[in-house]
Structure 1
Amino acid sequence: MTVEQTTTHIFQTSFGKVIALKSKGVIRAKSIRYARSERFQKPVAEQPSPSEIILPDKTPVCPQTISPLVEKMIGPAPMENFDPDESPQYLSVFRPDSFTGKNEKLPVVVWIHGGSHEIGCGDLPTSDPGDWVKEQQIIIVAVSYRLGLFGFLGGDERPPNLGLFDIIEALKWIKTYISEFGGDPGNITLLGQSSGGDAIVHLMISEGVDGLFQRVIIQSAPLGLRHKRQKMTAEFLKKTEGLKNEKDILKMVNEYRKYVPSVIRYGLKAAMPFGIQYGFPPLCKEEESVEKWKENAGKYDVLIGLNNDETAFYLKTSDALNKYFGKGLGLRIMDKAVEKTTGLIYGTPAEIFAENYAKAGGNVYLFRIHARSENARIGAPHCIDLPLIFGNESAWKSSEMLKDIPWKYIDENGKKIRALWTEFVRNGTISDDSDRPEILKIRKIKF
């Protein structure tokens, strides 16, 4: 078997000389700093570099604690490859090696990762978009931004929504420089999963984003958790006030977790204690949000949807719950709980959003991913869309979520979904004649 060699590729741009790596048909320009920030301050755009921009030894990430549940679902994160940085404003550009750029510019997808506004980064092996980039001849830009205490908790004394401001700064960088990587600055689609989808929904009504993107793909956004968060947020902010000047960033992120149980009384929304905050820049008041989306219905093409059994992994892999609900009547009760919570957090809010957007004249598609394989023992849970979208079999080999599901099944369905998503990325539409995988239901919402 021939092992393909990794070589370097140089992008000569007005931002600087960017040194990228080329392998397996994809050029990866990774960890380019697009902004900087001081703690609890808005980001400041990074200026063009007089020296070479090279890949750092370790991937910069916002300081965070590891979630055992997420590691069980997706697989262990290679922590030795990451470098905690409370100013983690970096992005990575992925471009097909075969593209010459002589007569065209490629459509651009901007990946906004999920993780409850608390964990994750743009550059993870499980979201390496190489398969998609090579198959569909597009450019994908992965964005890292501030999370948790650093990016999604604030109030009158310090700015909330700093993670949103980071993403906006990244979009400005992309709009300015992506043409020099072969991308079309007039055809930019935002793609977000889970809290990344939540961020994108709110970027659609944020100040200062005009012209920065044309389309959005919103996967598994927990829009049912966005309402009436103010009291919970204020209490969580007050509880964690003593950590704001902590110099040890790892101690800071470890310590805040002891205060999370205090907000559990706020119900399901406490499952995501960090989040966007209405009534602070760049967002409107909560009661104005629906009208803002309607006002902007003509600006953005929308593809929004979810997985059929979003909460199944959280519930069905719990040892405590399985002790009582793992079979018979208990299992039927568990299935009903999955159906109910999936609808409440993800399904119904997505449908309402899509219908409101369509009624206002917007172009919107609604999709749902189902489990059709007999080996999918927990159905189509949260994050099942990620291996379908990104592929990369080796990164998913230890995922409990994919246990017993043949990779061939994931790959065959994934290629079809990537083709459909790319069709939307290119022109904002999905033809009725396009090949649909058996696991996907999708329709244009019309009124």
Structure 2
Amino acid sequence: MKFQENTGTHLFKTSFGKILALKEDGIIKAKSIRYAYSERFKKPFPVKSSVSEIVFPEKTPVCPQIISPLLEKMIGKTEIDNFDVDESTQYLSIYRPEHFIENENIPVLVWIHGGSYELGCGDLLTADPTDWVKEQNVIIVTISYRLGIFGFLGGSEKRPANRGLFDIIEALKWIKTYITDFGGDSENITLFGQSSGGDAVAHLMICDGVEGLFNRVIIHSAPLGLRQNRQKMSSEFLMKTGNITAESDTFEIIENYKKHLPSFFKYGLKAAMPFSTQYGFPPLCTESEAEEKWKKSAEKYDVLIGINDEETAFYLRTSETMNRFLPKKIVNRAIRSTTEVIYGKPAKEFAENYAEAGGNVYLFRIHPRVTDNYFMGAHAIDLPFIFGNESAWKNAGILNNIPWKYIDENGKKLRSLWTEFAKKGKISNQSERPEILELRKV
């Protein structure tokens, strides 16, 4: 295993086992720890503690998926050689400050990545939490879980639903059990997710089997407007991919399922996210029970929820068809209306219902004020502000004409506020706000 000159190693002696980690840039990274195993379409089972030294793999494990040209254009190119495809992709990574007071028990944030339940993994460079960990003296854990066909489409005995959710719950159990061995506070765990990761976080609040696993949630850009009335679409998608079995070739599955994606003309905006959590299957309740369960969870979890100002600009301003045939004014109107339908109105209603039930909840909206950027408030524009890491974002189309100094200055303030929430469940009115942020307690 090769290391750069400015890196070293650290050996964590934990009750799970001896875990080799990297020391780099003032933090310690325990990378790609396997927390569970799974067979195709089956529940994960936890990895047992080991007397052997646990060594991180050279390449990042990732669930089988098709690279998205849109994501490569807007966020950055995927370096395929850095990843290893693995259907049983239950891994987590722990980022901890190199120097902190012994027995301090610092707050823990758990990152649940987005990607429409179909793309990504926990360890993408664009969500590397190094800057956040160093600045705010927190531990951040990133999780990978099964995606797409393998994790979020089911409904039959042979292909049960919500396997990806079960993976995440297994990871949370691991974190709850072992994070104190890394200096983390097992009684102060905050889930943080963006896009489908935010949707997953919202649904984890009402899952069975999560009691005591986390205390707070931060939900960015969750497409909650697409969560309802999906049963017919999911059943049809499942039926059309019914020839996929436990024996089917992995890469043939990935190549072929795209032929059977739900029709936009039949299912509307919901078809834009063909995979999702599925109500009425473990560990979730039925759809009709969800609102009441969220209200009942108001006494358990502090919530910080919000969106970017023009979420769907990410998709509509990159659409050649729309921009070729429709006036700019019409495209802007479509962005405004679809942002509110999919993200804005559902987040506001979620927050208001939660507050009415007695919950502690904050609502936010992120809007960069750089007028010559074409994607000012688009989906994923929040990520460079929250994670930093300039080198990972240098070629991102979404940041066109936004100086990194602007991102860095606003990002530091945003990370400070989100850490304040993770530590205390509150954000003081006296705490400095970045100019990109609108925030209120509901």
RMSD, matched Cα: 1.1
Of stretches 391-400 and 366-375 in structure 1, the one that deviates more from structure 2 is: 366-375
CA distance in 1, matches of 2:150, 2:395: 30
Contact between 1:4 and 1:24, CA under 8 Å: does it hold in 2? no
Question: Equivalent residue for 1:211?
Answer: 212
Contact between 1:111 and 1:141, CA under 8 Å: does it hold in 2? yes
1:269 aligns with 2:287: no
SS state at 1:94 partner: strand
Of stretches 44-53 and 175-184 in structure 1, the one that deviates more from structure 2 is: 44-53
Structure 1: gaps spanning 5 or more residues: none
CA-to-aligned-CA distance 1:233-263 (integer Å, 9 cap, x gap): 0000000111224542122111100111546
Contact between 1:122 and 1:144, CA under 8 Å: does it hold in 2? yes
SS state at 2:303 partner: strand
CA-to-aligned-CA distance 1:106-160 (integer Å, 9 cap, x gap): 1000000000000110000101000000000000000000000000000132210
Question: Equivalent residue for 1:248?
Answer: 249
Contact between 1:235 and 1:263, CA under 8 Å: does it hold in 2? no
Alignment of 1:148-227 (within 5 A): 148-157=148-157, 158-227=159-228
Identical positions, percent: 65
Of stretches 62-71 and 222-231 in structure 1, the one that deviates more from structure 2 is: 62-71
Contact between 2:264 and 2:270, CA under 8 Å: does it hold in 1? no
Alignment of 1:283-322 (within 5 A): 283-322=284-323
Question: Equivalent residue for 1:130?
Answer: 130
Contact between 2:262 and 2:274, CA under 8 Å: does it hold in 1? no
Aligned equivalent of 1:389, options 386, 393, 396? 386
Shift of 1:72: 1.1
Q: Give the partner amino acid of 1:131.
A: D
CA-to-aligned-CA distance 1:312-366 (integer Å, 9 cap, x gap): 02111222222223xxxx1111111000000000000000000000000000000
Aligned equivalent of 1:369, options 362, 366, 369? 366
Q: Give the partner amino acid of 1:219.
A: H
Shift of 1:376: 2.0
Contact between 1:30 and 1:92, CA under 8 Å: does it hold in 2? yes
Question: Equivalent residue for 1:96?
Answer: 97
CA distance in 2, matches of 1:24, 1:40: 39
Runs of 4+ in 1 over 4 A off after TM superposition: 261-264
CA distance in 1, matches of 2:250, 2:331: 39
Shift of 1:19: 0.3
Shift of 1:276: 0.6
Of stretches 3-12 and 75-84 in structure 1, the one that deviates more from structure 2 is: 3-12
SS state at 1:242 partner: coil
Contact between 1:232 and 1:263, CA under 8 Å: does it hold in 2? no
TM-score by length of 2: 0.97
1:113 aligns with 2:113: yes
Alignment of 1:420-435 (within 5 A): 420-435=417-432
CA-to-aligned-CA distance 1:34-64 (integer Å, 9 cap, x gap): 0000111000000012211111011111100
CA distance in 1, matches of 2:237, 2:264: 7
Contact between 1:243 and 1:256, CA under 8 Å: does it hold in 2? no
Q: 1:303 to 1:363 in 2, by over 3 A?
A: same
Question: Equivalent residue for 2:345?
Answer: 348
CA distance in 2, matches of 1:192, 1:305: 11
SS state at 1:297 partner: helix
Structure 2: gaps spanning 5 or more residues: none
Of stretches 224-233 and 67-76 in structure 1, the one that deviates more from structure 2 is: 67-76
CA distance in 2, matches of 1:14, 1:286: 40
CA distance in 1, matches of 2:98, 2:85: 31
- Give the count of matched residue pairs: 438
CA-to-aligned-CA distance 1:278-327 (integer Å, 9 cap, x gap): 011111110010000001101000000000000002111222222223xx
Question: Equivalent residue for 1:418?
Answer: 415
Of stretches 246-255 and 33-42 in structure 1, the one that deviates more from structure 2 is: 246-255
SS state at 1:243 partner: coil
CA-to-aligned-CA distance 1:53-91 (integer Å, 9 cap, x gap): 111011111100111111111111111111111100000
Contact between 1:109 and 1:425, CA under 8 Å: does it hold in 2? yes
Contact between 1:10 and 1:17, CA under 8 Å: does it hold in 2? yes
Shift of 1:388: 0.6
CA distance in 2, matches of 1:285, 1:13: 39
Shift of 1:4: 6.7
CA distance in 1, matches of 2:154, 2:402: 42
Contact between 1:4 and 1:23, CA under 8 Å: does it hold in 2? no
